A and B are shown apart, each in its own frame.
Chain A
Amino acid sequence: MTTDAALPPRLQLRGITKRYPAVLANDHIDLTVGVGEIHALLGENGAGKSTLMKIVYGVTRPDEGIIVWEGKAVSIASPAEARRLGIGMVFQHFSLFETLTVAENIALAMDEKIKPALLAPRIREVSEKYGLPVDPNRLTHSMSVGERQRVEIVRCLLQSPRLLIMDEPTSVLTPQSVLKLFETLRRLASEGVSILYISHKLDEIRALCDTATVLRGGRLSGTAVPRDESNASLARLMVGSDLTACQLQPREPGEIELELTNLSLTTRDPFGTRLQDLNLRVRGGEIVGIAGVSGNGQKELLAALSGETLVGEINRSHAGMIRLCGQPAGLLNPAQRRGLGLGFVPEERLGRGAVPAMTLAENALLTGASGGSSTGMLRYGMVQQKAARAFAKATIEQFKVKCGGESSIASSLSGGNLQKFIVGRETRLKPKVMVVAQPTWGVDVGAALLIRQALIDLRDQGVALLVISEELDELFMICDRIAVINQGRLSPTMPSAELTIEQIGVLMSATSMAGHADETVTGEPVDVAA
């Protein structure tokens, strides 16, 4: 940190307030970032971090408050103006055109018009200087998420920013790439660039940041020097209460309920991922996790498991690649699979897991009707509204869904509450196999805890669970075994107790799974023995 007392702070926010029709997103927020300081902005989903950063980057304007840039009050009317001041931002979701090269993408995003060919040497220069290897002539679609992030960072650095905003940059990275990114950021800071680092990952913030500003529910909850704090004390600032951890009691697994045998699947999407020779067995009473950076075949695997993609559609003999409760299921549609005992929680809640414009009672019917006659929601093809309402009501109570009741419209619920409802619905349909994608993505800490406990309860009741998540911490918390998916291939599963984050990281970034896995991972592959 090279903060010079004589220099005015790079950025000062005073009393920034932003109201939206339904919420007060920012309530008189103060924040000061010094020259060359790495400043963390910490908070749960919905705490107001993104709104505050949008204000700094000129995407939205505050209703009240002052922005002081290097000692002068400024108003930032647009991102272009923010960039002119020297503010760069790396977004969580990249806006790159798949069919263009790196140089073309960067040229498009620049304020001045420069030919891609002229930009290429500058890209190379910056990428070498900061240890961010990027080939300007490569087509974007062939790049991994980590590589794309590098492109975004290089794009910002080309404008020589004095403040770099990073929005949850590590959520798409392997643990090893995270360390590399930190090196780059520290180097930038030592050159006097200030960095605003948005995250909810406490370990990272303690490792990287000089100061932290914590937001809770749109308000300033406190400032701290992360190095002097513990994870627990930071979490208390962020959540407002102490957290309890989930408990995973050792348990003898039962019969094989979900089995993938050499599952291979080509994709129709030109930028999709081909699944190659996936092998996996999930037994009753255990939770198996699949880790991996998104875009490595998770979407395709989930569609194949749910029945939205039929594995045996082209070649009927492939139907047995997926077996549910002992039966070949490759040719069964989602409703038929549910009939066999499959529960499924998709990644997208609104629009896939639930119909946004329908009530919770009507959404109970979505999968409840094919859950068999046990729910009583259907009789002779007629909908039994009473049974659907009762089912929704019981789900709301059991899973503590905050809403106006079973007649609430699904889209009126917050992400966490809707997820609780969907997990609750699938749980109450008494599945034998439960497949869950990103169970707590974008969900607040309290709801995440409840959802994880619900999954563990299912495990203890003998259900076979498969959890696909990008959150490694979560997988370690709730899984008996973990496998890694990378470029459409699945590693053997390994007991999570014997695994380290580093081993997973190696598997997540390995270019070829075959051979590589044997050299670097010391866990015994359980599937081979099973």
Chain B
Amino acid sequence: MSLPSQLLQTLWPFRLEKRPEPSSTMRLASPLIAATAMALTGLIVFLILGKDPVTAFQVFFLKPLSTTYDLGELALKATPLMLCALGLALGFRANVWNIGAEGQLTLGAIAGSGIALFWGEALGSFALPVMMIAGALGGMAWAAIPAFLRTRFHTNEILVSLMLVYIAQQLLGYLVHGPWRDPDGNNFPQSKVFVENAILPMLVEGTRVTAAFIVALLLAVASWVFSTKTFAGYRMLVAGLAPQAAAYAGFSERRNIWLALLIGGGMAGLAGISEVAGPIGLLQPVVSPGYGFAAIIVAFVGRLHPFGIVLASLLMSLLYLGGEAAQIDLQLPSSITGLFQGSLLFYLLAADLFITFRLRRIRRESRAVAGVAS
């Protein structure tokens, strides 16, 4: 054995060993373990920053749940996270790694807004449905680019979808600074406010939560039915679990990639238009505080399961609201939200690692045999 590896073994006499059978209970428990570890880390951070941990905890996790309005905000912010994560999870389970939901969300917002701005009045009560469809189509169109490049040229969909996020944001910036800017808007880079029939109705009086929340919940059910009951969903699962088995069974790889990206893009596009036609009400340079990226965490915290994603999106939404409250009440920087999101993902991945592996102490070489030998 070489010297460096001997040294390493003395300092760190452990190694990872695959477990014979990963526990399925722990697989479900790991998001809870991760959330607890995240909360504990947060408390330590608050302590170091000199904040009273009890107050900080209260501000961060309890205040956003105290009034009807706050609960409405929770559902409101959970909506785009849920929509994006549901679509992404279908793709992740099919081994298609679309991480550009943020860009598809942006394109959905642009496409839907186009309808609202130019035909909003003319369409009357049809405006909202048409906008929703346009939003979904916009997201799909953006996701079709990595799908085409992957199936035609074998490019990597992770890179392409990610790079397209920044292009989408530049496109949005160009539109609100240029052709779609409100001429009566004091030169602010934003579009005209949408007409009333192009704004999503409120779900509960006194809150800002819109009908999109119900749509998201229905889509969670639809997504569950799709992946557990339909043959199309089964094909995508097989493609993700065992690509060779999918080829053997004759499931087309091309169709799998297209379907995964189009569903993910469509759902993200829907999230985008729900934001601009909901709480925002117009098109502005930034339509999302990173919902499309946070949705990746949501998808994994939710175990890629539609109902898990519903819960995970509420948790992630709480982190956004808690972060805002911490900024106002505790004068903490806005990056506190990112810190919680990041540590949640970190602990989840760590917990998942220990589900499939365990840490074993390396026994001193040869003790087993030499001890017996006489």
Contact = CB atoms under 8 A, between A and B. Distances in A.
Interface in B163-210: none
A333 B237 CA distance: 19
A77 B248 contact: no
B231 interface: yes
B366 A355 contact: no
Interface in B248-305: 248-252
Interface string A358-378: 100010011101100000001
Contact of B1 (A21, A78, A333): A78
Contact of A357 (B241, B248, B250, B252): B241
A366 B234 CA distance: 9
Nearest to A412: B21
B368 A369 contact: no
Contacts of B251: 335
Interface in B193-239: 229-232, 234, 237-238
* Max chain A Cβ within 10 angstroms of own Cβ: one of B229, B250, B252: B250
B230 A382 contact: yes
A74 B370 CA distance: 7
Nearest to B225: A382
Given A358-B241, A378-B231, A383-B234, A75 B250 contact: no
A366 B249 contact: yes
Interface residues of B, number: 27
A63 B369 CA distance: 7
A125 interface: no
Interface in A299-349: 306-308, 333-338, 344, 346, 348
A386 to B, nearest CB: 12
A366 B238 contact: yes
Contacts of B238: 355, 358, 366
B350 interface: no
Nearest to B366: A75
* Max chain A Cβ within 10 angstroms of own Cβ: one of B232, B368, B374: B368
Contact of B250 (A76, A307, A351, A362): A307
Given A73-B374, A381-B231, A382-B230, A61 B368 contact: yes
Contacts of A351: 242, 244-245
Q: Classify the secondary structure of B's interface with A.
A: helix
Given A22-B20, A73-B374, A369-B231, A66 B369 contact: yes
Nearest to B233: A383
Contacts of B20: 21-22
Nearest to B370: A75
A354 interface: yes
A353 interface: yes
A88 interface: no
B122 interface: no
Contacts, number: 95
A130 B244 CA distance: 43
A495 interface: no
Contacts of B244: 348, 351-352
B48 interface: no
Contact of B232 (A333, A336, A381): A381
Contacts of A382: 229-231
Given A335-B251, A353-B248, A77 B229 contact: no
A22 B368 CA distance: 20
Contacts of B237: 358
A383 B369 CA distance: 55
Nearest to A22: B20
A356 interface: yes
Given A381-B232, A383-B230, A67 B248 contact: no
A370 to B, nearest CB: 6
Interface residues of A, number: 45
Contact of B242 (A62, A356, A369): A356
Contact of B248 (A21, A65, A76, A334): A334
B8 interface: no
B49 interface: no
Interface string B86-118: 000000000000000000000000000000000
A355 B245 contact: yes
Given A352-B244, A362-B234, A382-B229, A335 B372 contact: no
Contacts of A73: 373-374
A162 B222 CA distance: 68
A358 to B, nearest CB: 7
A183 interface: no
* Max chain A Cβ within 10 angstroms of own Cβ: one of B229, B241, B249, B365: B249
A346 B248 CA distance: 8
A345 to B, nearest CB: 10
Contacts of A381: 230-232
Contacts of A336: 250
A64 interface: yes
A491 B71 CA distance: 76
Contacts of B365: 77
A360 to B, nearest CB: 14
Interface in A68-123: 73-78
A354 B123 CA distance: 52
Contacts of A21: 20
Given A334-B249, A353-B248, A61 B232 contact: no
Nearest to B365: A77
B247 interface: yes
A115 B370 CA distance: 36
A223 B115 CA distance: 85
A334 B368 contact: no
Nearest to B238: A355
Interface in B321-374: 365-366, 368-370, 372-374
Contact of B245 (A63, A67, A337, A354): A354
A62 B248 contact: no
A66 B373 contact: yes
A454 to B, nearest CB: 20
A357 B22 CA distance: 12
Contacts of A344: 248
Given A334-B248, A369-B234, A381-B232, 5 more contacts: A63-B368, A66-B373, A334-B250, A336-B250, A356-B242
24 contacts: A61-B366, A62-B368, A63-B368, A64-B372, A65-B369, A73-B374, A75-B366, A76-B369, A307-B250, A308-B248, A337-B250, A348-B244, A351-B244, A352-B242, A352-B248, A353-B245, A353-B248, A366-B238, A366-B245, A366-B248, A369-B234, A382-B229, A383-B230, A383-B234
Interface of B: 1, 20, 229-232, 234, 237-238, 241-242, 244-245, 247-252, 365-366, 368-370, 372-374
Interface of A: 21-22, 61-67, 73-78, 306-308, 333-338, 344, 346, 348, 351-358, 362, 365-367, 369-370, 378, 381-383
CB-based closest 10 A-B pairs: A335-B250, A334-B250, A75-B369, A73-B373, A75-B366, A21-B20, A352-B244, A355-B242, A333-B250, A77-B365
